Amino acid sequence: MTRSRSQGWWVWLVAAVPVAVAGVWLLAVLSAATGYPWPEPWRDRSQPVAYSHQKHLALHMECTACHFGAETGTHAGLPPTSFCASCHLLIPPPGSAAEADTNAVAAAAAGGTNRWAAPTPPELARYLKAGEEIPWKQFQRAPRHVFFSHRRHVTIAHLDCAVCHGDMNRRDQPVTRAEFPTHLPGMNRCVDCHLKEKVSTDCLACHH
Amino acid sequence: MACRRDAGEGGDGARLRSFLIVAMSNPAKKPDSRDPVPGRILLVLGCVGGGLLAFYLVLAVQAWAWSPAVYVRYAESPRSRTLLDPAGPPVRPQATQPTPVEHGREVYRRAGCAVCHGVDGKGGVINPNYQRGTFPQLNNISQRLFLRDADSHAAALEALNEGIPLDADEDLGIDRQRLVGVQYANVVRIILDGNPAQRKDPAGVAPLPMPGWRDRLSETDVRDVIAYLISLQDLKVYEEEE
């Protein structure tokens, strides 16, 4: 029996499609399970402002100063732009030495340089001037059937933020994916810590 | 019936088979009974089935990877039994009206004071090229208001909790109350109108001054923030002085 090459191409095509789908799916699962940054070209992971935790933490700011909900509520929350405006694009008191630098601040907002202690990048200046909140994309998100309280972990258990969120002192780029330093898959990262700390692993302690 | 004719009489089933033969063969070539068409159909079905199998295999791997069954040992606990009880979980008491100190703490955090002055006013945040190096700590504001003993501290806190500012004319039971009142008015002015920051190096960058909060905070907010800051005072300082 003889078979020409033109007769067999579609067979390989039909065979390749499910294999390719399975391969992409496997990559996505491995990415979610291991926390390893596998490429996900279908998802836009850019943040509107290139916020650097490293620069702000280098000034000895505290995590809960901006994410104040972490101590009192379920969600840690993000600070409003008014927090940014306290230092960036600040209008100094009239007659003060800093007032002369206000023009330099405006120059920095337009892309130039200034001698202000808190230079304002243009993309941030745009939101501050418009008085709008920065539309951050959320990547750290608990599933809907999970009740995760930051207050329980931060205020009651005195858990350091770095245990779950990693060393933010070295992060000079905004957060663009959910990352956990333990690299355990899914719920195991929670249960592993609960077992180590001898706290409840009861289903209803965390699940609705 | 059509389904009976499929077997050998050449009904709809035979037509479908002929269609598949033509569709899966070279269009330029007419169907030939000697071509291995059944084998090709099996190959296609095998590929699709293999793909689905691989898909379900991946799902199985995912289920295995995410399963907490290895870790979870106790699915039932007193808490579970309480929550599953028909009587329901115990009812939580309703939240009460926050005290001025509690309200002041909320304002302090929500207005962003903690960003510069630190959580709980402990300071330590660097202000580049500022003469003093860091933003002022505020958990010792009680001393800066010249509340120099525990009784004056308690009296000031009690007055603020009742909504009376420390620069009021009435007697609040505070030692050297007039001086305390002047300092209190100064602190209120700094919060509402801001305060410049002196440079350490005149040729260096401009340090961040205290911005004015008049447009964002009410007088009650400011009074409660001061009450909160006074409540942060470590009272051991007074014991040591005595």
A91 vs B contacts (CB less than 8 Å): 211
Backbone CA torsion sign across A106, A110, A115, A117: positive
Q: Locate the chain A residue with the closest alpha carbon to B207.
A: A117
Chain A and chain B share a number of CB contacts under 8 A equal to 164
CA distance B32 to B20: 12
For chain A, first and last CA: distance in Å? 64
Q: Which of residues 74-93 of B touch A (CB under 8 A)?
A: 74-77, 79-80, 83-84
Residue A99's pLDDT band (cuts 50, 70, 90): low
Q: Locate the chain A residue with the closest alpha carbon to B190.
A: A93
In this structure, what are the phi and psi dihedrals at residue A56, rounded to the nearest 5 degrees? -75, -40
Q: Mind telling me how many Å the CA of A44 is from chain B's nearest CA?
A: 24
Note whether A61 contacts B193, CB cutoff 8 Å: no
Q: Hey, is the C-beta of A191 within 8 angstroms of any chain B C-beta?
A: yes
Tokens at residue A208, please? Answer: 């609705």
Look at residue A202 in the predicted model and tell me its pLDDT.
86
Q: Mind telling me how many Å the CA of B159 is from chain A's nearest CA?
A: 27
pLDDT at B1 over 80: no
* Of the ranges A7-16, A41-50, B216-225, the best mean pLDDT one: B216-225
CA distance B204 to A114: 11
Which alpha helices (H) appear in A52-100, and where do they start and end? 53-57, 63-66, 69-72, 81-85
pLDDT at B178 over 80: yes
Are the C-beta atoms of B145 and B187 separated by less than 8 Å? yes
Q: Which of residues 114-133 of A touch B (CB under 8 A)?
A: 115-118
Residue B24's pLDDT band (cuts 50, 70, 90): low
Q: Mind telling me how many Å the CA of A116 is from chain B's nearest CA?
A: 5
pLDDT at B26 over 80: no
Note whether A186 contacts B114, CB cutoff 8 Å: no
Looking up tokens 């330590």 gives B124
A192 vs B contacts (CB less than 8 Å): 71
pLDDT at B74 over 60: no
Note whether B205 contacts A59, CB cutoff 8 Å: no
CA angle B187, B164, B145 (to 5 degrees): 30
Residue A114's pLDDT band (cuts 50, 70, 90): very low
Looking up tokens 């067979």 gives A11
DSSP B42-110: HHHHHHHHHHHHHHHHHHHHHHHHH--TTT------HHHHHHHSTT-SPPPPPPPPPPHHHHHHHHHHH
- Non-local CB neighbours of B133 within 8 Å, separated by 6+ positions: B126, B127, B200
Residue B88's pLDDT band (cuts 50, 70, 90): low
pLDDT 10s digits, B195-218: 888 888 887 788 888 888 888 899
pLDDT at B67 over 60: yes
Note whether B25 contacts A7, CB cutoff 8 Å: yes
pLDDT 10s digits, B145-160: 999 888 999 999 999 9
Note whether A93 contacts B83, CB cutoff 8 Å: no
Look at residue B81 in the predicted model and tell me its pLDDT.
53
In this prediction, residues A161-187 reach a mean pLDDT of 82
Give, in order, the Cα–Cα distances in Å from B233 to each of A86, A202, B180, B238: 26, 41, 16, 10
Note whether B205 contacts A60, CB cutoff 8 Å: no
CA distance B200 to A156: 41
In this prediction, residues B113-122 reach a mean pLDDT of 93
pLDDT 10s digits, A189-200: 888 889 988 888
- Domain layout of chain A by residue ranges: 9-40, 49-78+137-208, 80-135
B134 vs A contacts (CB less than 8 Å): 60
- Non-local CB neighbours of A69 within 8 Å, separated by 6+ positions: A75, A76, A77, A150
Average pLDDT, chain B: 80
Look at residue A72 in the predicted model and tell me its pLDDT.
87
Q: Hey, is the C-beta of B71 within 8 angstroms of any chain A C-beta?
A: yes
Give, in order, the Cα–Cα distances in Å from A206 to each of A194, B84, B124, B154: 11, 15, 36, 42
Look at residue B69 in the predicted model and tell me its pLDDT.
58
Higher pLDDT, A131 or B191: B191
CA distance A101 to B127: 16
pLDDT at B80 over 60: no
Helix, strand, coil in percent for chain A, rounding step 5: 45, 0, 50
B100-241: CATH topology: Cytochrome Bc1 Complex; Chain D, domain 2 (1.10.760)
Higher pLDDT, A177 or B237: B237
CA distance B213 to B223: 13
Residue A111's pLDDT band (cuts 50, 70, 90): very low
Look at residue A25 in the predicted model and tell me its pLDDT.
81
pLDDT at B77 over 50: yes
pLDDT 10s digits, A50-86: 999 999 999 999 999 999 999 988 889 899 998 898 8
pLDDT at A14 over 80: no
Look at residue B215 in the predicted model and tell me its pLDDT.
85
Note whether B211 contacts A59, CB cutoff 8 Å: no
Look at residue B185 in the predicted model and tell me its pLDDT.
95
Nearest by CB to residue A60, choosing from B48, B111, B124, is B124
Note whether B47 contacts A11, CB cutoff 8 Å: yes
In this prediction, residues A5-18 reach a mean pLDDT of 73
pLDDT at B31 over 60: no
Residue B6's pLDDT band (cuts 50, 70, 90): very low
Tokens at residue B189, please? Answer: 């002015």
Higher pLDDT, B67 or B238: B238
pLDDT at A3 over 90: no
Higher pLDDT, B108 or B22: B108
* B226, B231, B232, B236 alpha-carbon torsion, rounded to 10°: 130
pLDDT at B92 over 60: yes
In this prediction, residues B105-116 reach a mean pLDDT of 93
Average pLDDT, chain A: 78
CA distance A52 to A173: 5
